[in-house]
Copies of this chain bind each other. A is one copy, B any other.
Amino acid sequence: MVDRLPLHRFAEFLPLGDADMRAIRALGEPPVDYPRHGVLRREGEAPRHIYLLLSGWVGASVLLPGGERQIVKIHLPGDLLGTSSMCLARAADTLNALTPVSVSRIPLGAFGALFASSPRFAASMFLSVQRERVALMDRLAAVGRTSAIARVAALLLDLDERLRAAGLAGDDGFEMPVTQEQIGDHLGLTAVHVNRVFRQLVDGALIARNRQRIELLDLARLRSVSARQVRATTQDPGWLLGNGAA
């Protein structure tokens, strides 16, 4: 296994011991690379693995019968991909490389073995999935109830925050290696309209744009147009280990 795996997401809720961390390192297969537009897994396939994203961006998308696409999550390095389909006979989402990516496959059996043997790992994963669910709830609220400009602003803030957490964003903005069509598929808009909204944001001096590089110029105003909630994660999840005030 490679060293320097981005494992920050595994311990975001609970610190894990050395044994658990070693087990996590041993979970994944050797890294595999995919080019941009490569497909890690197609929806409809029987899910046999999940994936740890080592580098690059991956979009998880659902296809509708009419051919429309909804990108349900933009994954950044460190994310675990494909976990939602663990409960299904056939995967719900397609995993698309938005950039060249490197991933480590994790067989479901390996994941399950660790889940069954380490309550701490199980609790950690359980909370992570709940966190993903909250993110999805917030996105549903944004798509269902906010304007195009609010959705774009929320996306930019979300990416900025997540890239920072993963140590991938500088102070001078970040690369956003995603086409406007993909942004549209993520936000429930057309590519044309995404373009117009970006123009609005630039004209209003909320952001600056240079090719795919985005700089957030006015965080306060962006936050206010985005209607985005800030969610603080629990500080004391000990109760999930049986320690809590039961």
Using a CB–CB distance below 8 Å, which chain A residues touch chain B? 13, 62, 64-66, 68-70, 72, 83-90, 92-93, 107-113, 115-117, 119, 122-123, 125-134, 136-141, 143-146, 187-188, 227, 229, 231-235, 237, 239-246
Q: How far is the CA of A239 from the CA of B115 in the complex (A)?
A: 10
The DSSP consensus for interface residues of chain A is helix
- Chain B residue contacts of A139, Cβ below 8 A: 140
CB pair A89–B232 under 8 Å, yes or no, is yes
Q: Choose among A107, A113, A227 the residue with the greatest number of B CB atoms under 10 Å from its CB.
A: A113
Q: How far is the CA of A239 from the CA of B83 in the complex (A)?
A: 14
23 contacts between A and B (CB under 8 A): A13-B87, A65-B229, A68-B145, A68-B146, A70-B140, A72-B137, A86-B127, A88-B231, A92-B138, A108-B239, A109-B239, A111-B239, A112-B240, A112-B241, A115-B126, A116-B241, A119-B119, A133-B133, A136-B137, A139-B140, A140-B140, A143-B188, A145-B188
- Chain B residue contacts of A132, Cβ below 8 A: 133
With CB as the reference atom, state the residue of chain B lying closest to A108.
B239
- Chain B residue contacts of A143, Cβ below 8 A: 140, 143-144, 188
Number of copies: 2
CB pair B231–A69 under 8 Å, yes or no, is no
Q: How far is the CA of A240 from the CA of B108 in the complex (A)?
A: 7
CB pair B72–A141 under 8 Å, yes or no, is yes
* Least distance between A45 CB and chain B CB atoms (Å): 13
CB pair A115–B108 under 8 Å, yes or no, is no
- Chain B residue contacts of A130, Cβ below 8 A: 83-87, 129
- Chain B residue contacts of A145, Cβ below 8 A: 64, 68-70, 188
CB pair A140–B89 under 8 Å, yes or no, is no
Q: How far is the CA of A89 from the CA of B116 in the complex (A)?
A: 27
Q: For the complex of A and B, list the 7 residue pairs with the smallest distance between their C-beta atoms, beginning with the closest.
A: A144-B188, A116-B242, A109-B246, A70-B141, A109-B244, A112-B239, A87-B130
- Chain B residue contacts of A62, Cβ below 8 A: 137-138, 141, 229
With CB as the reference atom, state the residue of chain B lying closest to A137.
B72
